[in-house]
């Protein structure tokens, strides 16, 4: 390796930029995949026919592929490229181990490929952004540990006494993502590609959104802030505006972000106080988030004239501005009254894309353009093309967000609209969808513009790099750090400087902040007596219903349908009395959903006859005119896997679902019996094919179970609350 000791004072070393180039290419490749799949599912929203009747590319299966590709493949590789480039320079040390760098790179790509090869087949846990099944989860854990060892090893070997703010953010990212991923992915396997989360219902919801929200915080925010702190001052040639602000906003962000997860669960059956905590911590996050924006934008003082000429700075300025907007919009949407309108609508979609395309996308693009002449002996092929990319991307995002804001607010208002006598103004859910369908086309145009800009970048990068040699590794000479840590600060220096010189202590403090916040925000609710009041009226799923539920998860139904009737007058008129926490107490995983492109299904059981569902899944428009739901013809030819049910029930029992030994023993015959009854009923109403062993019957049994126990409880004498 390039390190060798010249004398006792100076060491010679060089940086590993080969690994940065690898992550650079991976970022571009997976970005193309993520955006292309995004465009495809946007097209499917505008017109349901665009899955061409193929189950593998139906919306419910492609949507997780889109989100996983955007977050873990595109943003993930961008983060790694940026971290590997900047950390070596900020720490004045080559990465700890070239082998670990290599394992990290190829391991991560393997995880992405596994995701791309499983999600289209409906292999999913059914929890948003944590869809990947347990073998891949284990792979993620291993590769993340490899990354952590490599990163902390580099810190250990550093030749810079103090760690710079970018490194603080990288540390927070690495330790927190590990904690989030492990805690939320504790699933018990049924088979190699099927597992159930150990949490159920409201607990699963709480853990999932602690994870989901903080994935945004620690996978899409803190690492990008770290990148900003490196690449922004480098590109602008200006000092960072305020070191003190860095300190305050770093610690505030790390501690406060963790608490905000329950803002995804407002107006649900989560206890009120836990919901309110989520709301207030979200609002308190505005200033810490804006601390990063201020430090970024004010770093450009005196360099604003260069923003006009330099595409890199344009992307950074717009990216940081989108960050500021998103971190204001998010807290506003966490206030109960705003959330009541925004939740479950396209407003959320607008919000996340402001963050993903504007902040993560533009910061990444700026970084890639900046890195080209550093990583290769070349210069950017065309500034004009990069500028065109910027403007196309910017207008694409604006079009995207405006259309989805309009769609979300329109649908939100229609869904709760009441006439003067207290009746729903739009009783048919589908009316609210057909109203906003034209906006799905506008969104598609916005997405296409963003994608086109990205393709211009690819062309520009290829033209810049092709034929160019990789930049030669420069050999640096630096003294090694004395092993004794220098504790203490110079006069006038902040005491924070002490822990900047002690990265181990710094890391421990970060972990403590994250763990304390996690424990305080999760444990009281998880241990609270009133979380789920036991009620014998609510029974576990029968074996066939459980199998149907797994199909519901496989097809990604939860991505368009919620199972949570919120406690408002309009919702209770539309769907029935507000959902109780007991109703999902056996739901591993919970399926409350986060978006309603279709109506809530918490009480759909018994609302329609089996024949209705039979026709509906074949072609929704047969029973709901103007429905935009795709067709599911494969459910009518694929056979139900009855053989696995005994195993499934016994796994469910081991995570707390009270199945009797007999129910487990007889899982298969019981399921066949129930399927036969449903098929006979269908046959009596004119269905002339034998379908008892087909998947559609299992799905129907599950849909008919939804809300059945609640109805029986309220129908029983003295049962109504």
Partner 1 sequence: MSDDKEKLLDHLYDGIQELDNRLPAWWVGLFYLTIAWAVGYFYYYNIGSGPTLGQELREEQNQWALIQAKNPTAAGGGADEEAVLAAVIKDESRIKHGKEMFATKCLACHGPLGGGGIGPNLTDNFWIHGSKPTQIANIIRTGVNDKGMPPWGPLLKPEEVHSLVAFVKSLKGTNPPGAKAPQGNEEK
Site for partner 1 in 210-239 (CB under 8 A): 230, 233-234, 239
d(CA 54, CA 51): 6
Minimum separation from the CB atom of position 592 to partner 1 (A): 15
Instruction: Select from 136-144, 205-213, 478-486, 572-580 the region that touches partner 1 (CB under 8 A).
Output: 572-580
CA angle 122, 125, 131 (to 5 degrees): 80
Minimum separation from the CB atom of position 255 to partner 1 (A): 13
d(CA 677, CA 712): 20
Among 1, 4, 308, 427, binds partner 1 (CB under 8 A): 427
Among 246, 360, 403, 581, binds partner 1 (CB under 8 A): 246
Minimum separation from the CB atom of position 427 to partner 1 (A): 4
d(CA 87, CA 167): 7
In this structure, the number of other CB atoms found within 10 A of the CB of residue 718 comes to 4
Among 384, 423, 486, 654, binds partner 1 (CB under 8 A): 423
**Binding residues for partner 1 restricted to 530-569, rule: CB under 8 A:** 567-569
Q: How many CA atoms lie within 13 A of 431 on its CB side?
A: 10
**Binding residues for partner 1 restricted to 21-50, rule: CB under 8 A:** none
Which of 71, 87, 88, 89 has the alpha carbon at shortest distance from 27? 71
Minimum separation from the CB atom of position 606 to partner 1 (A): 6
Instruction: Enter the tokens of residue 492.
Output: 């006038």
Nearer to partner 1, 572 or 637 (CB): 572
Residue 420 within binding range of partner 1, rule CB under 8 A: yes
**Binding residues for partner 1 restricted to 54-93, rule: CB under 8 A:** 86, 89-90, 92
What is the separation of C-alpha 235 from the centre of its chain, rounded to a whole number of angstroms? 30
Nearer to partner 1, 493 or 656 (CB): 493
- Encoded one letter per residue, x for contact with partner 1 by CB under 8 A and - for no contact, window 89-128 reads xx-x------------------------------------
d(CA 488, CA 486): 6
Nearer to partner 1, 2 or 110 (CB): 2
d(CA 53, CA 636): 13
- Encoded one letter per residue, x for contact with partner 1 by CB under 8 A and - for no contact, window 253-292 reads --------------x----xx-xxx-xxx-xx-xxx-xx-
Minimum separation from the CB atom of position 567 to partner 1 (A): 4
In this structure, the number of other CB atoms found within 10 A of the CB of residue 239 comes to 10
d(CA 235, CA 232): 5
Which of 158, 229, 172 has the alpha carbon at shortest distance from 502? 158
606: helix, strand or coil: coil
694: helix, strand or coil: strand
**Binding residues for partner 1 restricted to 386-415, rule: CB under 8 A:** none
**Binding residues for partner 1 restricted to 321-360, rule: CB under 8 A:** 336
Instruction: Select from 183-191, 571-579, 647-655, 689-697 the region that touches partner 1 (CB under 8 A).
Output: 571-579
Minimum separation from the CB atom of position 9 to partner 1 (A): 19
Nearer to partner 1, 181 or 616 (CB): 616
Minimum separation from the CB atom of position 419 to partner 1 (A): 7
d(CA 45, CA 441): 8
Nearer to partner 1, 126 or 599 (CB): 599
Nearer to partner 1, 324 or 589 (CB): 324
Tell me how many residues contact partner 1 (CB under 8 A).
Answer: 73
- Encoded one letter per residue, x for contact with partner 1 by CB under 8 A and - for no contact, window 664-693 reads ---------------------x--------
Minimum separation from the CB atom of position 478 to partner 1 (A): 12
In this structure, the number of other CB atoms found within 10 A of the CB of residue 413 comes to 14
- Those residues whose C-beta lies under 8 Å from the C-beta of residue 405, and which sit 6 or more positions away, are 346, 347, 350
**Binding residues for partner 1 restricted to 484-513, rule: CB under 8 A:** none
Minimum separation from the CB atom of position 611 to partner 1 (A): 5
- Those residues whose C-beta lies under 8 Å from the C-beta of residue 661, and which sit 6 or more positions away, are none
Nearer to partner 1, 353 or 416 (CB): 416
**Binding residues for partner 1 restricted to 606-665, rule: CB under 8 A:** 606-612, 615, 622-625
- Encoded one letter per residue, x for contact with partner 1 by CB under 8 A and - for no contact, window 587-606 reads -------------------x
Nearer to partner 1, 339 or 364 (CB): 339
> What letter does residue 639 receive in the DSSP assignment?
B
d(CA 86, CA 98): 16
Handedness of CA 183, 188, 192, 193 (dihedral sign): negative
Minimum separation from the CB atom of position 691 to partner 1 (A): 16
**Binding residues for partner 1 restricted to 135-174, rule: CB under 8 A:** 160, 162, 164-165
377: helix, strand or coil: coil
d(CA 546, CA 535): 20
- Those residues whose C-beta lies under 8 Å from the C-beta of residue 64, and which sit 6 or more positions away, are 119, 124, 128, 131, 556, 559
Residue 476 φ/ψ, nearest 5 degrees: -105, 155
161: helix, strand or coil: coil
Instruction: Select from 38-46, 516-524, 544-552, 573-581 the region that touches partner 1 (CB under 8 A).
Output: 573-581
485, 400 Cβ separation under 8 angstroms = no
């Amino acid at each position: 390796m390039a390190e060798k000791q010249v004398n006792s004072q100076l060491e010679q070393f060089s940086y590993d930029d080969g690994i940065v180039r690898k992550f650079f290419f991976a970022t571009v490749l997976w970005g193309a995949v993520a955006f292309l799949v995004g465009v495809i599912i946007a097209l499917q929203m505008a017109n349901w026919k665009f899955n061409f009747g193929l189950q593998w590319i139906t919306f419910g299966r492609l949507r997780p592929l889109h989100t996983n590709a955007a977050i873990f493949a595109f943003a993930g590789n961008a983060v790694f490229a940026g971290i590997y480039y900047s950390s070596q320079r900020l720490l004045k040390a080559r990465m700890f181990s070239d082998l670990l760098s290599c394992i990290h790179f190829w391991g991560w790509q393997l995880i992405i490929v596994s995701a791309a090869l499983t999600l289209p087949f409906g292999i999913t846990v059914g929890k948003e952004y944590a869809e990947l099944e347990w073998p891949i989860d284990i792979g993620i854990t291993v590769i993340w540990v490899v990354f952590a060892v490599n990163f902390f090893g580099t810190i250990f070997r550093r030749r810079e006494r103090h760690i710079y703010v970018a490194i603080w953010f990288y540390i927070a990212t690495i330790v927190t993502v590990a904690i989030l991923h492990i805690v939320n992915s504790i699933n018990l396997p049924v088979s190699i590609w099927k597992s159930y989360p150990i949490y159920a219902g409201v607990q699963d919801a709480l853990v999932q959104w602690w994870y989901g929200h903080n994935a945004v915080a620690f996978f899409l925010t803190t690492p990008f802030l770290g990148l900003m702190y490196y690449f922004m001052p480098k590109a602008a040639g200006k000092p960072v505006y305020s070191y003190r602000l860095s300190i305050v906003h770093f610690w505030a962000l790390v501690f406060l972000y963790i608490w905000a997860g329950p803002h995804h669960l407002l107006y649900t059956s989560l206890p009120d106080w836990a919901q309110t905590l989520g709301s207030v911590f979200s609002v308190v996050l505005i200033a810490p988030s804006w601390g990063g924006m201020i430090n970024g934008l004010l770093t450009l003082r005196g360099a604003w004239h260069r923003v006009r000429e330099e595409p890199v700075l344009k992307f950074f300025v717009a990216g940081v501005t989108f960050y500021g907007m998103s971190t204001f919009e998010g807290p506003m949407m966490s206030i109960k009254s705003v959330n009541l309108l925004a939740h479950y609508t396209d407003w959320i979609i607008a919000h996340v894309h402001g963050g993903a395309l504007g902040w993560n996308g533009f910061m990444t693009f700026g970084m890639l353009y900046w890195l080209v002449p550093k990583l290769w002996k070349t210069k950017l092929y065309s500034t004009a093309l990069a500028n065109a990319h910027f403007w196309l991307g910017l207008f694409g995002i604006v079009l995207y967000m405006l259309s989805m804001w309009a769609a979300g607010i329109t649908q939100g208002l229609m869904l709760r609209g009441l006439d003067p006598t207290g009746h729903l103004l739009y009783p048919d859910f589908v009316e609210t969808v057909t109203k906003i369908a034209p906006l799905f086309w506008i969104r598609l145009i916005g997405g296409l513009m963003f994608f086109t800009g990205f393709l211009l970048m690819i062309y520009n990068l290829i033209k810049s790099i092709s034929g160019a040699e990789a930049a030669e590794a420069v050999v640096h000479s630096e003294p090694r750090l004395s092993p004794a840590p220098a504790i203490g600060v110079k006069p006038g220096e902040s005491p924070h400087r002490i822990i900047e010189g002690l990265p181990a202590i710094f890391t421990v403090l970060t972990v403590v902040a994250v763990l304390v916040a996690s424990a305080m925000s999760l444990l009281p609710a998880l241990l609270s007596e009133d979380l789920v009041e036991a009620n014998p009226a609510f029974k576990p799923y029968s074996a066939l219903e459980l199998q149907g539920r797994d199909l519901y998860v496989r097809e990604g139904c939860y991505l368009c349908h919620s199972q949570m009737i919120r406690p408002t007058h309009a919702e209770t008129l539309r769907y029935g009395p507000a959902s109780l926490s007991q109703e999902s107490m056996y739901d591993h995983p919970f399926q409350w959903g986060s978006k309603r492109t279709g109506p809530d299904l918490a009480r759909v059981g018994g609302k329609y006859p089996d024949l209705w569902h039979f026709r509906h899944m074949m072609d929704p428009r047969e029973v709901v005119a103007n429905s935009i739901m795709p067709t599911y013809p494969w459910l009518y030819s694929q056979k139900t896997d009855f053989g696995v049910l005994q195993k499934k029930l016994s796994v469910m029992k081991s995570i707390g679902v009270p199945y009797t030994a007999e129910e487990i023993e007889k899982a298969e015959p019981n399921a066949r019996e129930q399927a036969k009854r449903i098929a006979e009923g269908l046959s009596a109403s004119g269905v002339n094919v034998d379908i008892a062993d087909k998947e559609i019957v299992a799905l129907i049994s599950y849909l008919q179970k939804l809300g059945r126990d609640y109805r029986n409880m309220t129908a029983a004498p003295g049962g109504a609350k």
